[in-house]
A and B are shown apart, each in its own frame.
Chain A
């Protein structure tokens, strides 16, 4: 039994709690800033202790289990939300993993997992049960509607999510996240995969947003039409657990995006691949989390920028938009790799696919509907 792992596990679990609490605070502050309000500002300076107050309130609120629900499934649903999202975090490196002595410092719970990326997708796909079961157990028509929509949405967007990442995997040839990161860092800023996979990144971003039920894809909640969707009947700690799951997922996705496309902890001059000045590890951790925070901030701003999709538009976007685009992206990567062409060709290729295909789509979509 090594104490490093145990300490790491305790640290990660508590860090995720604190992070999620403050992400909710940030979300409210950003919302307030966009809407020209002040946001939470009563508890502590700038409302900084608001998350603590919220946490206490969640704990001391009555644990309402309405009489009409299916008790076991009602409690199981939020637990699944927390367990799956937190488990997926286990294979995400949240700092540099090429430190000289991995027994002293480690920034990943399960190192060297051969199927890292696949593991995240597999575990995250289980999150759909929290929503289906939550909606079904609640015995509320809004909840059931919300959960059905959400289940269809989540399983639909899993396909473009997994397809868009295939381009990255063909380029690097590994599913191991540490390896994917180190390969990019080794090549410097020209190695960041965003240069070769801008289309893949865009598809990944859209699908990941849909997977985590964030606006503009927050159909399952859709306050205005479904009250609260699948969590209408939830309150107190169980309600908080759904949110814990959502924000943990957002964190995982942001880190994943930075690791897959933006070079992870690498930054030119500051955190190079073979930087070994004192404190380099700390700088790398800082760079990684700064990048991830920027992604989270973008996700939060998107919430107040884009309107919500209608459900049929949502499904059309997944099946008739993102899937063909990601297939084309994969084909282009395949061709470039097979004839060993310069990977820089992929940049114009992505742009062409992104602009040409939607135009073709508009023109062709009516003609294809002959049945």
Chain B
């Protein structure tokens, strides 16, 4: 592993420093602050009403659906990022290949847009 860690070494140090900072702050607050637990203080605050049952209820499947859509578009985007960097940069894609790449990306985006419109028409984005 002959990798030179020019960018990652400061980043790793920075991450360690942040971790130390967070732990330090939490520990300091824990040491300094007076612990005085009381039964009422330990209750969930639900606007003064005594909580009924567990709060971890089941929720709407639509949240799950949004996460699926997000994941899809995320993957799509990650394919577009290298294209966006390379496509028209000075030392990017050779000029001879640009037409083919343009068509390729148009097809890619076109398929995405077809799927998007289908999803829209089927009401996948409606929240009611």
Contact = CB atoms under 8 A, between A and B. Distances in A.
A288 B93 CA distance: 33
B22 A371 contact: no
Given A13-B18, A113-B7, A66 B33 contact: no
Given A60-B32, A175-B85, A337-B88, A110 B7 contact: yes
A184 interface: no
Interface string A241-255: 100000000000000
Chain A interface residue number, banded: 35 or more
A9 B19 contact: no
Contacts of A142: 45-47
Interface string B6-48: 1111110111011101100110111011111100011111110
A236 B33 contact: yes
Contacts of A12: 14
Interface stretch (A32-40, A46-54, A132-140, A192-200): A132-140
Interface in B52-99: 54-57, 59, 63, 66-67, 69-70, 73-74, 77, 80-81, 84-90, 92, 98
Contacts of B51: 140-141
Interface residues of B, number: 73
Contacts, number: 201
B81 A62 contact: no
B46 A141 contact: yes
Contact of B22 (A8, A79, A158): A79
Contacts of A227: 45-47
Contacts of B56: 136, 139, 144
A315 B7 contact: no
A120 interface: no
B28 to A, nearest CB: 7
Nearest to B102: A338
Contacts of B126: 316, 369
Contacts of B7: 110-113
Interface stretch (A203-211, A263-271, A319-327): A319-327
Interface stretch (A83-91, A92-100, A291-299): A83-91
A90 B84 contact: no
A142 B49 CA distance: 12
Interface of A: 5-6, 8-10, 12-13, 58-64, 66-68, 75, 79, 82-83, 86-87, 90, 109-113, 118, 136, 138-144, 148, 151-152, 155-156, 158-159, 162-163, 166, 169-170, 172-175, 227, 232-233, 236-238, 241, 311-312, 315-316, 319-320, 323-324, 327, 330-331, 334, 337-338, 368-371
Rank and list the top 8 A-B pairs by shortest CB-CB distance, nearest first: A173-B89, A237-B29, A67-B42, A312-B127, A319-B125, A169-B84, A155-B70, A140-B44
8 contacts: A62-B33, A118-B81, A162-B77, A320-B125, A324-B116, A327-B109, A334-B102, A368-B117
